[in-house]
Amino acid sequence: MSSRRRSKKDAASTVMPPQAPPSQYSRRERVLYVGCEGEATEYDYLRYLNKEYGSGDSETGRPAFTIKPVRKADGLIPSRAVKAVVEAAQGEDETWVLFDRDSHHDIPEAFEAAAASDTEVCFSHPSFELWLLLHFQPFGGAQGAAKNTHVLEKLRKADPAYKRFDKPDKGLDAARTKALKGKEKAAVQHARALVGQCEHGSCKPANATFEAPKYGRSAKERAARSGHAKNCEVLSRDPSTDVWRLLVSLGIVKV
């Protein structure tokens, strides 16, 4: 830079012309390794976010990002998904993980592993499909033993593209992602409303945190980043989904 040779009068205008970013900037584009359990749904959804939003938006100033989905063909239980994503990122990039309540027994361990490795968790109870459903409508009421049944029933009715959404057809093809497009803001609102409706009583979406997490936070603090109270048991957050935090973090939706 030759700024020292420029007069003060010129200084303001020298800020304006577009310049190629310094070389470290292109390497500093946000990269997120996101672990998921292995079903096609989450993997396809992450690829959709990349395709639709990954190049950023110069009008709104939304920065570019690259999500690198991490999964194994035979599936990953939550604690393994955390390990896999940490290994894949090699300490170079952010790590996130998506997992469901389902019938997993290792969810507390997964939160411990996430806290120890500075990994963001997007937990969904009963399932990731709840997040998809919230694009079309609000949802509420504990699902208990019904688990995922009502979520899937409603999702199949929510849009023709999801009419046959069931095993083995749980991928998100172009018609299914098109049906989601433009409804992200509603989905975030509906998901935040579920935090406020949590039976615990002290959970508030406004308490969600997005600042860079610091290494070594406890599992309870990690689990409270979506606005649930620290002593709100993760397994009791029925229904809930934290996937909205990923979209807000990426700048796709503002809250």
Which residues of the chain form contacts with Zn ion (CB under 5 A)? 198, 200, 203, 228, 232
Q: What is the rounded distance in angstroms from the CA atom of residue 152 to the CA atom of residue 13?
A: 57
- Residue (127 or 177) nearer to Zn ion, CB: 127
Contacts of 240 (CB under 8 A, 6+ apart): 123, 124, 125, 130, 191, 194, 195, 198, 226, 228
- Residue (27 or 200) nearer to Zn ion, CB: 200
- Residue (181 or 200) nearer to Zn ion, CB: 200
Q: How far is the CB of 231 from Zn ion (least distance, A)?
A: 9
Strand order in the sheet with 240-241: 65-70, 30-35, 94-100, 119-125, 240-241
Q: How far is the CB of 227 from Zn ion (least distance, A)?
A: 8
Q: Quick check: 66 and 54 in contact, CB under 8 A? A: yes
- Residue (76 or 198) nearer to Zn ion, CB: 198
Q: How far is the CB of 115 from Zn ion (least distance, A)?
A: 18
Write the DSSP assignment of 175-205 as a string of letters: HHHHHHTT-HHHHHHHHHHHHHT-TTS---G
Q: What is the rounded distance in angstroms from the CA atom of residue 126 to the CA atom of residue 236?
A: 10
Q: How far is the CB of 113 from Zn ion (least distance, A)?
A: 21
Residue 20 DSSP class: P
Q: Residues 64, 67, 68, 73: what is their CA dihedral angle, to the nearest 10 degrees?
A: -150
- Residue (163 or 230) nearer to Zn ion, CB: 230
Q: How far is the CB of 196 from Zn ion (least distance, A)?
A: 9
